[in-house]
Amino acid sequence: MQVYRDLNGDSGVDAYETGDDFIRVQFSKGSVYLYTDASAGREHIEAMKELAARGEGLNTYINKYVRKLFARNEK
């Protein structure tokens, strides 16, 4: 996983990993969630990948749009 830069210093996201059709997000409390095209929709996954790479806004986006649309809780 890549460390999430968290440019504002206020995110609940610590790290992420991306693939062609998914993003895996590790939150600061240790939980890891897998979001996929099938579970959350391609548009959301691509937006989340962009925010993750930018290091800003990923946690807010998740809470606003895809909070419960994960494929599985991995940890």
Q: Tens-of-pLDDT digits for all 75 residues of the chain?
A: 999 998 888 899 999 999 999 999 999 999 999 999 999 999 999 999 999 999 999 999 999 999 999 999 998
- The answer, as to whether pTM is greater than 0.85, is yes
Burial 41-66 (b: 16+ CB within 10 A, else e): eeebbebbbebbeebbbbbebbeeeb
Domain count, the chain: 1
User: Residue 61's domain spans which residues?
Assistant: 2-73
Q: What is the pLDDT of residue 9?
A: 82
